Amino acid sequence: MPSRRGLLGRLVAVGAATIPGCSAVLSRRRNSPVSLPPNPHEVPDRQHAWDTVLHTDEHGNRHPPRHHRVLLLELDVEPSVEAADTVETAMREVESTYEWSPEGLLHALAWGTDYFERIGELDASPIRKPEVLSRTDDPDLLSYDAALVLAADVPSHLVRTETALFSESDPLEGRDLDARLGEVFSIAARRTGFHGAGLPAEHSDAEGVPNDIPQDAPMFTGFMSMRRGTQPSEDRITIDGGALDDGRFDGGTTMHLSHLSESLDDWWAMADEERVARMFSPDFSPSDVDALTDTVPFADSAFDHAAEFGVVGHHEKVARTREDGEPVILRRDFNTTDGGRAGVHFLSFQASLDDFVATRKAMNGWFLRNEHEQVTDRKNNGLLNFIEVESRANFYVPPRSDRAFPAFSP
């Protein structure tokens, strides 16, 4: 395998379907664009651009990869051109090993609030420290230098990638790597999980996971999520044109990661109609949900429903944040049994963290408490009585062409 110095010094054309160049940090040092050899697998410049390769059903609904892992990282070295060299080369090694698909590996290297604070750019960045967003929760507010998001239908691809990138000698699918993320980062924490029919039912040995979860349920709640009409386009959640004055962060997106624990025994103790009322709306029936195809239609009737039924649904609350009929956050959340307990790692992408905050505040439903005495901060208020926020963290996901130490000036 060519040396890393040789790889980075070789100027070669990169195909239109691959990324346009190397890290901006590396290019600035050499006063000219720098490219690595063409990638054998086509990859988009947007690290968050997964939609075109995800599997779809007969209604066009995209299904996320079945297995997920998020590695939360701390920098062990100071930002530098040499460190950027290592990071970019390591990521290119992964992309050369696996195709950009659920059968191969989808991934994104995101940068956290600790990193931007470290380089003195937090105030100028599109992210900020996480905050408490509900008076009924007391989450740990976490801050990291970076996060590596991994997703695939083949669980061993996630394990092998982590092991190869953060060990000293393990190859990746037989490839001896020329650079590893472990030369730059340490793993501070890990989030693991799954999404897809049959997987929740396989985890009935975890605390709080009942035995009667349907075998075909993709999520612990039993319902399908992420219908096409409830997700924005990737264009909608990409920073573009003046989100920040200097444009340095255009082409990227912001990422929020929450860990939610779930009270599934209470959830599954309810009748089907009660679960539907709290997930969707009290004027939905189980047969209505079974008939849904590519969207979840709602009239703006949350206030009326709270007053009439004494209960309000999760979906109808968050639908109030849509702009021109389109949601504002792209959800890629997944079930988890981390810590031996049922939960969700809520992973979302949005052009501005303000969009996530607005969605969460709509989910809180505090504006509905005066409509009926049975609607409180948590009870009969969507999913709030069945979840608890354990932690929050915020990240920026740069375009692939600037993924090695974005906004850093050597």
Range 205-231 burial, b when 16+ CB lie within 10 A, else e: ebebbeeebeeebbbbbbbbbbbebbb
Do the bridges between strand 330-331 and strand 343-350 make them parallel or antiparallel, or are there none, so unpaired? Answer: antiparallel
Sign of CA dihedral 402, 407, 409, 410: negative
Of 28-32, 34-38, 273-277, 391-395, where does mean pLDDT reach its minimum?
28-32
Task: Give CA separation, 364 vs 81, 298, 316, 346, in Å.
Answer: 44, 18, 12, 16
- pLDDT number for residue 30: 42
**DSSP summary character for residue 381:** B
Pairwise pLDDT comparison (244 vs 135), residue with the higher score: 135
Q: What is the average per-residue pLDDT within 271-297?
A: 97
pLDDT tens profile 87-107: 999 999 999 999 999 999 999
Residues 39-66 pLDDT 10s: 778 899 999 999 999 999 999 999 999 9
- DSSP conformation letters of 66-102: SEEEEEEEEESS---HHHHHHHHHHHHHHHHHS-SST
**Alpha carbon 13 to chain centroid distance?**
32
What confidence score (pLDDT) does residue 383 get? Answer: 97
What is the model's pTM? Answer: 0.92
Number of H-type helices and E-type strands within the chain: 11, 12
Q: What is the enclosing helix (H) or strand (E) of 258? A: strand 253-262
Chain segment 330-356, per-residue pLDDT in tens: 999 999 999 999 999 999 999 999 999
Residue 36 or residue 234, greater confidence: 234
CB atoms within 10 A of CB 384: 21
Q: What's the rounded Cα separation, in Å, for the pair 209 and 261?
A: 11
| 3-class SS string, 123-157 | CCCCCCCCCCCCCCCCCEECCCCEEEEEEECCHHH
Give dist(CA 355, CA 66) in Å, integer: 26
Q: Can you state the angle between helices 81-97 and 155-166, rounded to 10 degrees?
A: 150
Average pLDDT value for residue range 8-21: 35
**Of residues 332, 376, 334, 338, the one with CA closest to residue 356:** 332
Segment 228-241 mean pLDDT: 94
